[in-house]
Amino acid sequence: MATGMEAIVALAGLGLAIPGVIDVLVRAGLYLEEMVKKYQHADNTVRKFEFIGQSMARGQLRSQLTIITMYTKNAQVDGAIVDNLDSYFRQLVNDIIKAHKLLLRVRPPSGESPDLGVLRKLKVTFLDEIKMKSCLDRILATEIAFVNNSLLCFQIASGPDPDLLTKYEFVVPHETITETPGTRLPHSPMLIASANYKWKDGSQKTSDVILERRPVHLGGIEDAGILVRKLQAKPCTEGILPCLGFRQNPHNQQEFDLIFELPTPSERESLWQFLRRADRPTSLSVRKSLCEKLAQAISFVHGIGMVHKNIRPANILLLKPSAVSTATTLFLGDWTLVRSFRTLTAHTAGKNQWAEKLYLHPVRQKQNVEDRYTILHDIYSLGVCMLELLLGGDPLVLGGDDDASFDLCPLLRAAFVSSGLLPGVVANAVSGKFFEDPEHVKAVLVKVAKEELPRRVGDKLATLTVKCLEGFDGRFGEADIIRQDNVTPEQIAKENANGVKFISLVQLELNGISV
């Protein structure tokens, strides 16, 4: 029988559907664990691979992979999730092989054998240690992705199909054929209303909800049902509101309403409103915490095989138990454009186009926009939001509640004027010409992040923000993002698996930065 590492090398390039894949993983884990144990006085970096081996052989990684291999064969589980996890597994195999090669390079001092125990620390070169840490980060990111998706696969495979809610199951009091009573968050599709709804067991409840209008042309009842099913099957994830279901919009047969339940009582505002408040909390710990929560919510979207397409402060909801409370919870809103990785897509900006495009990846602003919206584009939007939060001053976009009064904040306006993108004239001279060169806009945002953030929040948060803005070009993982036309499903799956890994690494780095 092949050794653990010989067997796992044979898996390179293959997927989860290969027979006996869990047995191979267990043998490789045992082999890795025993190998590291022989280096009795290894440093912490080397020693961590022993715990990776334990996780593969009899721990969390083994259990999550066992569940995933079982439920990814179920037809109910979206193919985009299966493709994503399959590519992630291939990356895991490659990282384990790389880790083994690096460990073979580790040698005890001359004349001493690792089998007999080493009295002094093993010699590890600086470059090898960096490579080992990179391997550990990627393996840990993979483990996080499998943990997030194992329960999701189970619940999707075993849960009931979501039903289109009828007027007898979901009622907004005093709603008419022309109007739904409620409060719409500024420059957002999120409408907050009070509603009565009936559970499957016949019990009734009254609660505040968010209604989001999703046009039928973005996908019919089947697509809306798939999205609701994924949202209802999610693990308890902070950053995503409970989804009650969806209904036909009573005012327009060409729209569905996605329905999300709000906790009560709670004070509610969008991140756009929060950033405009003069009395907003300014501590770095609060701002970093909001970045962490936003990254977690975006990671969930990508983990279920979807892209969000419209991440900006107006679509991010902040809740507090009361007006005097400092405990803020962040929820990602506006699911109206959310689509599968596999779906051909387009993005249409609203009336206030330049302010929306500020958060949109340059590739999505070309005259002939590409068909596929990728995870990388969402991560760019995260980077712009992180820049806005971490600058700690004015929001990037200033103005009142009417579109005509919007303008850039002084810091950003000065940066764009000095770059030649804007004339140094009247304050609100922002027009469509502002985005004729979106790559130039991106370059200015990156420049602001590099010049302003280090002195305000430190080098680590500044570097992480720049990585989100630059994507794979920012050296955060393999630079193999696919840009050419007519790519294969396998290439798309690999691209999106790398994207999921990228956002997982963003979460790891954010959580590891102390402020």
In this structure, what CATH number is given to the domain that contains residue 274?
1.10.510.10
Question: Predicted confidence band at 425 (pLDDT cuts at 50, 70, 90)?
Answer: very low
- Please tell me whether residues 64 and 126 are part of one structural domain: yes
Lowest average pLDDT, out of 64-73, 80-89, 151-160, 488-497, goes to: 151-160
A 10 A CB-CB count for 171 gives: 17
pLDDT, tens digit, 9 for 90 and up, residues 319-367: 987 666 667 889 999 888 877 655 555 555 444 577 788 899 888 776 5
Higher pLDDT, residue 23 or 159: 23
pLDDT, tens digit, 9 for 90 and up, residues 221-273: 777 787 888 787 665 567 889 888 888 888 777 888 899 999 877 788 899 98
Which one of 158, 190, 220 terminates a domain? 158
Q: How far apart are CA 407 and CA 429, in angstroms?
A: 8
pLDDT, tens digit, 9 for 90 and up, residues 362-379: 887 765 555 567 888 899
- Please tell me whether residues 128 and 233 are part of one structural domain: no
- Please tell me whether residues 309 and 388 are part of one structural domain: yes
- Please tell me whether residues 147 and 256 are part of one structural domain: no
DSSP 3-state assignment of 52?
Answer: helix
- Please tell me whether residues 226 and 289 are part of one structural domain: no
- Please tell me whether residues 114 and 203 are part of one structural domain: no
What are the distances in angstroms from CA 134 to CA 104, 161, 244, 253, 464? 17, 41, 41, 51, 15
Q: How far apart are CA 32 and CA 48, in angstroms?
A: 11
User: Given this model, what pLDDT does residue 469 score?
Assistant: 95
Question: Predicted confidence band at 479 (pLDDT cuts at 50, 70, 90)?
Answer: very low
Pair of tokens at residue 472: 């794979």
A 10 A CB-CB count for 433 gives: 12
Query: Which string of b and e fits 482-503 if b means at least 16 CB within 10 Å?
Result: beeeeeeeeebbbbbbbbbbbb
- Please tell me whether residues 413 and 501 are part of one structural domain: yes
Q: How far apart are CA 194 and CA 262, in angstroms?
A: 10
Which one of 242, 261, 280 terminates a domain? 261
DSSP 3-state assignment of 505?
Answer: helix
> Does position 210 have pLDDT exceeding 70, yes or no?
yes
- Mean pLDDT (whole number) for 110-131: 57
Average per-residue pLDDT in the chain? 77
Give residue 220's domain range. 164-261
Do 46 and 132 form a contact (C-beta atoms < 8 A)? yes
Q: ∠ CA 208-178-351 to the nearest 5 degrees?
A: 85
Angle subtended by helix axes 410-419 and 438-457, to nearest 10: 130
Which one of 158, 185, 205 terminates a domain? 158
Q: Structurally, how many domains does the chain consist of?
A: 3
On the 0-12 / 13-18 / 19+ scale of CB atoms within 10 A, 28 is buried
User: Given this model, what pLDDT does residue 435 score?
Assistant: 60
- Please tell me whether residues 231 and 365 are part of one structural domain: no
Higher pLDDT, residue 208 or 142: 208
Its pTM stands at 0.72
In this structure, what CATH number is given to the domain that contains residue 205?
3.30.200
- Please tell me whether residues 76 and 108 are part of one structural domain: yes
What are the distances in angstroms from CA 288 to CA 253, 293, 294, 333, 389? 42, 9, 10, 19, 8
Do 210 and 195 form a contact (C-beta atoms < 8 A)? no
Minimal CA–CA distance to 297: which of 241, 239, 242? 239
Do 260 and 210 form a contact (C-beta atoms < 8 A)? yes
Q: How far apart are CA 395 and CA 277, in angstroms?
A: 10
- Please tell me whether residues 252 and 345 are part of one structural domain: no
- Please tell me whether residues 9 and 132 are part of one structural domain: yes
- Please tell me whether residues 325 and 353 are part of one structural domain: yes
